[in-house]
Amino acid sequence: MDLGAQEIADLVKSSKVSATQVVEAHLDEISRYDSRVNAFLLVMAENALEQAKRIDVRRSKGEELGPLAGVPIALKDNMAVSGFATTCGSKILEGWKPPYTATAVKRLVAADAVLIGKTNLDEFAMGSSTENSAYFPTKNPIDPTKVPGGSSGGSAASVAARFTPIAIGSDTGGSIRQPASLCGIVGVKPTYGLVSRYGLVAFASSLDQIGPFARNVQDAALALQVLAGHDDRDSTSIPGSHFDNSFTDRVAGLRIGVIQEMTTGISGAVEHTLNDAIAFLRSMGATVEAVSIPSTTYGLSAYYLIAPAEASSNLSRFDGVRYGLRVPGADITQTYEQTRAEGFGAEVKRRMMLGTYALSAGYYDALYGRAQKVRTLILDDFAKAYGAYDVLISPTSPTVAFGLGDKTDPLAMYMADVCTIPSNLAGHPAMSVPFGCDEAGLPIGIQVLAPAMGEQIMFSVAQSLQNGAAKPAVPVWRRD
Ligand code: GLN
């Protein structure tokens, strides 16, 4: 279905189309074509049709519907929906059905969106290709021999394949923006604390944020407006926060910095697209200059100490007693050991070992402590840059989508997030907008970064970039 979220909501609100018709059409697309993409771990067909029916009944009674009336939404499978399996792409959670629903999901449902299903991800959101899922890899809808990016690859693929106009992901080091870039769609990581994390299975709590994917900037903003807001159940939620979905596409007079450290080591096609974006923004009246943010070069190293350290603590709760899988042993210790040995995949184990090491006595100051200092340096450097520039831009990913199975070295995979990680360490918002393609038609996104709570200006620049973006060289979704 090519209809966007706003179009669907308008049609449903004005009774031109019923929510049931919308949902049936999207379920039909998924049942026909998802075997070629593998975006979904679970399709919630019955529940979606019931939800749609309730919306239609309310509409027929003349009730006013919410801003996402009848809009089908796919959720990354690390967000809890009461009574539905939540796997996090891991065998260790197999069979676990949460008894509660994530705040972000509740807000979507309250806005009359319809939950269509749960999407595939790298196990516990650790990865950049969705190949670390314990179930199956997801394919890039634009070229099924390529990865969709990750870790929210199923959500990105759902939107790119037109299974849903909106999908929700989580971004700890780039997991919304990088797959958005690789799939040719829009992906937003909001300011830390703007969207509640209650009901998001924690990976690295000080970095995790929930955010939307959409096929255009306006739909992403519509979704973010619904998602954003204070929640007493998340102690890091910003009091009084909201996002007002009104922004222009005006960049005239804006000062835009291009992060120098993120222009080295990128592919030729990505560099070309970045230069096109710079030229376009200048033609629209913005001042665009190079800016150095030196500490961002340490971002990757700091992230791979902080994120695993937090993960090693967060994932200790999966013990074979409280959730999902249990591999019984002779005593409780053996049950823990066997469950965790069988339930977790290789990348998750690697991260837990790295994290435990970084936090252990004797190494804490040299590793974890130092990484936290880098985090402070990054915040200071960004603050300096935002003294001179309204927003910053960079490539989202150093390359276009890579081949399934191509990256076997963990470090090579980690490099995929070199441009996205600094925003998580700073807690700042950033988003990816498709702007060009390489010669093979693989999409390339531009990242727009803004200071904390700077979503409004970030969206204006993204909207402008969308206006100037090259049309894809190949059809976005080839089914035959
Ligand atoms: N690719 C990064 C990692 O593996 C980021 C993941 C994420 O944002 N969830 O940690």
Q: Answer whether 169 contacts ligand 1 (Cβ < 6 A).
A: no
The rounded distance, in Å, linking the Cα atoms of 119 and 75 is 6
Average pLDDT over residues 286-295: 97
H helix or E strand, kind and range, residue 445:
strand 443-449
Lowest mean pLDDT of 362-366, 393-397, 463-467, name the range: 362-366
What is the pLDDT at residue 480? 58
What is the pLDDT at residue 337? 96
Using the mean position of ligand 1's atoms as its centre, give its distance from the Cα of residue 198 in Å: 19
Active-site residue, from 13, 76, 189, 407: 76
Question: What's the pLDDT band for 2 if we cut at 50, 70, 90?
Answer: confident
Q: Answer whether 171 contacts ligand 1 (Cβ < 6 A).
A: yes
pTM over 0.95, yes/no = yes
For the chain, what are the domain ranges?
5-249, 297-372
Q: Answer whether 172 contacts ligand 1 (Cβ < 6 A).
A: yes
What is the pLDDT at residue 217? 97
What is the pLDDT at residue 477? 64
pLDDT tens per residue, range 119-162 = 999 999 999 999 999 999 999 999 999 999 999 999 999 999 99
Is 80 exceeded by the pLDDT of residue 323? yes
pLDDT tens per residue, range 333-358 = 999 999 999 999 999 999 999 999 99
Percent of the chain topping pLDDT 70: 98
The rounded distance, in Å, linking the Cα atoms of 355 and 246 is 41
Phi first, then psi, for residue 71 (nearest 5°) are: -80, 120
What is the pLDDT at residue 470? 82
Q: Answer whether 127 contacts ligand 1 (Cβ < 6 A).
A: yes
Using the mean position of ligand 1's atoms as its centre, give its distance from the Cα of residue 118 in Å: 19
Using the mean position of ligand 1's atoms as its centre, give its distance from the Cα of residue 267 in Å: 21
What is the pLDDT at residue 248? 95
Of ligand 1's atoms, which has the minimum distance to the CA of residue 414?
1
Using the mean position of ligand 1's atoms as its centre, give its distance from the Cα of residue 24 in Å: 33
Whether 201 contacts 80, CB under 8 Å: yes
* H-type alpha helices, 153-192: 153-160, 177-183
Burial of residue 223, with CB atoms counted within 10 A of its CB: 0-12 exposed, 13-18 middle, 19 or more buried? buried
What is the pLDDT at residue 231? 98
What is the pLDDT at residue 385? 98
pLDDT tens per residue, range 223-273 = 999 999 999 999 999 999 999 999 999 999 999 999 999 999 999 999 999
What is the pLDDT at residue 472? 66
Residue owning tokens 């913005």: 286
CATH number, domain 5-249, options 3.40.50.2000, 3.40.800.20, 3.90.1300.10, 3.40.190.10: 3.90.1300.10
Of 109, 118, 23, nearest to 74 (Cα)?
A: 118
Is 76 a known active-site residue? yes
Report the DSSP pairing between strands 166-171 and 114-119.
unpaired
Question: What's the pLDDT band for 1 if we cut at 50, 70, 90?
Answer: confident
Q: Positive or negative, the Cα torsion across 416, 419, 424, 429?
A: negative
Respond yes or no on whether the N-terminal peptide bond of residue 151 is cis (omega within 30° of 0).
yes
Whether 182 contacts 131, CB under 8 Å: no
Is 70 exceeded by the pLDDT of residue 81? yes
Question: What's the pLDDT band for 221 if we cut at 50, 70, 90?
Answer: very high
Of ligand 1's atoms, which has the minimum distance to the CA of residue 176?
8
What is the pLDDT at residue 34? 97
Is 70 exceeded by the pLDDT of residue 473? no
What is the pLDDT at residue 165? 98
Active-site residue, from 18, 129, 151, 155: 151
Is 80 exceeded by the pLDDT of residue 377? yes
Q: Answer whether 128 contacts ligand 1 (Cβ < 6 A).
A: yes
Report the DSSP pairing between strands 287-291 and 255-259.
parallel
Is 60 exceeded by the pLDDT of residue 475? no
Q: Answer whether 395 contacts ligand 1 (Cβ < 6 A).
A: no
Q: Positive or negative, the Cα torsion across 395, 396, 402, 406?
A: positive
Cα distances from 281 to residues 155, 184, 195, 429, in angstroms, run 29, 20, 29, 20
| Both structure tokens of 119 | 């999407």
Q: Answer whether 307 contacts ligand 1 (Cβ < 6 A).
A: yes
pLDDT tens per residue, range 6-64 = 999 999 999 999 999 999 999 999 999 999 999 999 999 999 999 999 999 999 999 99
Question: What's the pLDDT band for 394 if we cut at 50, 70, 90?
Answer: very high
Average pLDDT over residues 434-463: 97
Using the mean position of ligand 1's atoms as its centre, give its distance from the Cα of residue 152 in Å: 9
What is the pLDDT at residue 471? 75
